[in-house]
Structure 1
């Protein structure tokens, strides 16, 4: 079974959920409460015009949010509208997928990676060092089916990740490896630990999102066999 980009958009919404997501007019709006772009961006439900964009801007401003739109596959007309309004492109993202058995073919060495929820204090500390603070931990807590991943390497804490499951997909978010533990295979073991957990939840595929400019992470996921399944980017108001 192939996993489509539009399926992954919904998996992302379910495994990295906004504080509030609701449909209004021609838009799905998200209230992020400081949790980042993915939980704050508006997405189009149908073809939209300049007047519709103006109304979405008002609605987001009334929530105390800077107008922000996620441009998904098929949103070319919206993309052009926003470009004409002076909205720059922000954070192009690739959605990757991989059949889950491709990451569960190797046993994880003892005391290398653990799946844990609620997060331990050391996990929150590692996330914080990577810029993932309380608002994003709140995002994690809202997911229905979830786990954290804690990695150890050189007999010390090494990294963390978060995974959620929805619609037969295990999606991995918030992968962080401590600087002195990088380039030693830690991220790979965390992805494998997430895959074993996802398989226990009935998932058939693993997915991860990666911004284009993160060259190292893109290279890692491709080396593990992940293939692009779709893309999106944001357009954010310059005001």
Structure 2
């Protein structure tokens, strides 16, 4: 993959990514997007803060807090790039706690030729084995996860099985095509099979799938503390497009 700069700005890429990882409920607050998905993942359960909320920022912060508390969720805001600095200060002034940076990485989409060394299966929906194989931030998935994972127009679930059932899958990943962009997420390799090329294999299979559907660019997100994954993506040619972080209401 080359080092060309992605042809979307921060706000447009975040809006596009929001269409590929959606909550089960969404509502606008001016240009902001409120999302709820039963508490599974920050992206599906946070206010995407891009653009103008249409009300003073202190009122917007209060409206976000009320919307999430009405749904039994801890209020959360996703604040991407430099454009969110003023809003970030308003959330900070209200006592909202800051999480670590998340890097949004992009690259031109290349479809690596299959090498046949690793058998990767693709499916339109995640089965129980796939759901068991994806441990979001090291934790098993809640019951609402399937709804969030499948709530997209064109989605695929990749898996690698190296041992017969009931042994767990060795690796999983999720891909989604939105316009001419492929989003890659949920890349998970069980500890016994790490550093054996499985992450590269599932990513390559998802990229081929995306290219077949007309995608020309690929994006993914990785936490700043996940250095092994960041190193993998650097080797694959991804560059940093922008960063975002979450803020959570205290208590």
The question of whether the paired residues in 2 share the 8 Å contact of 1:19 and 1:139 is answered with yes
CA root-mean-square deviation = 2.1
Write out per-residue CA displacement over residues 99-121 of structure 1, whole angstroms, 9 at most, x where no aligned residue: 112xx233231552121122233
**Among candidates 85, 92, 98, match of residue 83 of structure 1:** 92
Distance in 2 of aligned mates of 1:42 and 1:106: 39
Match of 1:173 in 2: 185
**What SS does structure 1 have at the residue aligned with 2:139?**
coil
Unpaired runs of 5+ residues, structure 1, are none
The question of whether the paired residues in 1 share the 8 Å contact of 2:6 and 2:106 is answered with no
Write out per-residue CA displacement over residues 87-135 of structure 1, whole angstroms, 9 at most, x where no aligned residue: 221131111111112xx23323155212112223321221258425132
2:46 counterpart of 1:46:
no
Distance in 2 of aligned mates of 1:110 and 1:215: 26
Write out per-residue CA displacement over residues 48-74 of structure 1, whole angstroms, 9 at most, x where no aligned residue: 421221222122211222111111120
The structure with the greater share of residues assigned to helix is 1
Distance in 2 of aligned mates of 1:27 and 1:119: 30
Match of 2:24 in 1: 19
Moved more, 187-196 or 125-134: 125-134
Unpaired runs of 5+ residues, structure 2, are none
Change (3 A) 1:132 1:207: farther
**Among candidates 133, 153, 174, match of residue 144 of structure 1:** 153
**TM-score, with length taken from structure 2:** 0.86
**Map 1:20-169 → 2, pairs under 5 A:** 20-25=25-30, 27-44=32-49, 45-46=51-52, 48-73=56-81, 74-101=83-110, 104-109=111-116, 112-128=119-135, 130-133=138-141, 134-153=143-162, 157-169=169-181
The structure with the greater share of residues assigned to strand is 1
**What SS does structure 2 have at the residue aligned with 1:171?**
strand
Q: How big is the shift at 1:141? A: 1.4
**Map 1:180-195 → 2, pairs under 5 A:** 180-195=192-207
Write out per-residue CA displacement over residues 125-156 of structure 1, whole angstroms, 9 at most, x where no aligned residue: 21258425132222111111000001245788
Moved more, 161-170 or 3-12: 3-12
Q: How many residues matched?
A: 237
**What SS does structure 2 have at the residue aligned with 1:2?**
coil
**TM-score, with length taken from structure 1:** 0.90
